[in-house]
Amino acid sequence: MTGSSDVIRVKGPGRLAGEVSVTGAKNSSLKLMAAALLAPGRTVLYNVPKITDIAIMAEVLRRLGCDVRTVPGETPGAGVTAGAGARTDPAGDGLSIDVPDEPGTDTDYDLVRRLRASICVLGPLLARRGRVRVALPGGDAIGSRGLDMHVAGLTRMGAEFSGEHGMIEATAPGGLVGAKVWLDFPSVGATENLLMAAVLAKGVTEIDNAAREPEIVDICDMLTAMGARITGAGSSKLTIEGVTELRPVTHRTIGDRIVAGTWALAATMTRGDVTVTGVDPSYLEIALDKVATSGATVETHPTGFRVAMDRRPRAVDVVTLPFPGFATDLMPMALGLAAVSEGSSLITENIFDGRFMFVPELVRLGAQIRTDGKHAVVRGRERLSGAPVRATDIRAGAGLVMAGLCAEGTTEVSNVHHIDRGYPDFVADLRRLGAAVSREHAPPEPTYAL
């Protein structure tokens, strides 16, 4: 991947039209890689996106003693489990993970600080090795995301925690045992960690108020193929009967609903006509309903959808909620849509308290936005105005590029390493859809001395 000094230049206004294929879900692939730690031997994952976060997670696993390497993509066949909505073409990358009999138990701060998802090795390593030492995670600057529910749930299962110098150390001297766990909030990360710990725990674990995201179902599908006993996938209550060992498998990741939703909202914003393939449209029912309410024509099929828009969008209100609600990761694109819609929109963010951090950048493009706590009131404009802006996280970066397509003149988005963490071949896909966009290495900023 190229450095953080790269910029994406967008010449607007532009209209997106054509077909784009979505690869595997980032938020599933990362956790499936961690799940591979539960079984010694060679696990192969197909349809894995080629993004920075996957490369970082691969290095996390290597430093735990795993041999991780890419393999050619493959169409599902005998012995390949496939999550619903997975691509059925060979374009997605494959990833081979050879797990040793005794993987390491310590993760490095220099990697964990760059990838919050790496905390998901906590559950698998605690289940396999009985101890783990993990650095407190970093990741996107989108608000507080504590580990309280992870720790509380694993403690109920027999784990003991201590921490100092930015590290969390967990041990389970007598092994993990099944327990009833109630989550205060349907946290995806906590659900994943508890689920992956419970599959090797003694007895039965019940996770109530569990997250219901498609990525959770994908993990359950893979774990079941590995020999786990899980019921309730996709519901708010997961029941896991622990087993003594699991086996490695070959699995295909589901399609990325967030990338697909980005293209759906971008087609609407730019008054375009985009067909998206490689994802189950049922993952995006509310997002596609919002697009249709704004005036777009939406057609769905089993592995994708088409969004066509021939007029200025109508303003729609959006409220982010846990799945099956409107995904928080699509909120930046929803703000961009509101910024060019006819009328005023109320956008409410219920998941992360820092999601509106990028709003000043959108305002630089001429958007009329007023925020108050978790609410943003947006008065739409016919066109925005190109300007230099800065990406603050993965989705904000994509949202700013899409807003640049709705602006007169040139928009320059810096800090695009954030976008690299979630969108493979982003600029290439945009150009295939007709956007006048380029990625360039920015000159170094000037230095000043007193």
- Catalytic (active-site) positions: 140
The Cα 355–Cα 173 span in angstroms is 40
Question: 131 near 173, Cβ under 8 Å?
Answer: no
- Cα torsion through 43, 48, 54, 59, rounded to 10: 30
CA nearest to 327, candidates 26, 23, 55, 15: 26
- Cβ of 238: how many Cβ atoms within 10 Å? 24
Task: Name the helix (H) or strand (E) containing 177.
Answer: none
CA nearest to 257, candidates 19, 9, 16, 28: 28
Q: Which residues does residue 307 pair with via DSSP β-bridges, in sequence order?
A: 274, 298
Phi, psi of 176 (to 5 degrees): -75, 150
The Cα 8–Cα 117 span in angstroms is 26
- Chain centroid to Cα 263, Å, comes to 15
Angle between helical axes of 122-129 and 148-156 (0-180°, round to 10): 20
The Cα 261–Cα 264 span in angstroms is 5
Angle at 65 between CA 243 and CA 39, to 5 degrees: 15
Question: 303 near 52, Cβ under 8 Å?
Answer: no
Angle at 199 between CA 138 and CA 137, to 5 degrees: 5
CA separation (Å) from 116 to 4, 146, 163, 345? Answer: 18, 11, 17, 32
Question: 37 near 58, Cβ under 8 Å?
Answer: no
Give the 3-state secondary structure of residue 175: coil
Going by DSSP bridges, is the β-strand pair 388-390/436-441 parallel, antiparallel, or unpaired?
A: unpaired
Q: DSSP string covering 394-445, please?
A: HHHHHHHHHHHTTEEEEEEEE-THHHHTT-TTHHHHHHHTT-EEEEEEPPPP
Q: DSSP string covering 95-123, please?
A: EEEEE-SS---B--HHHHTT-GGGGGGHH
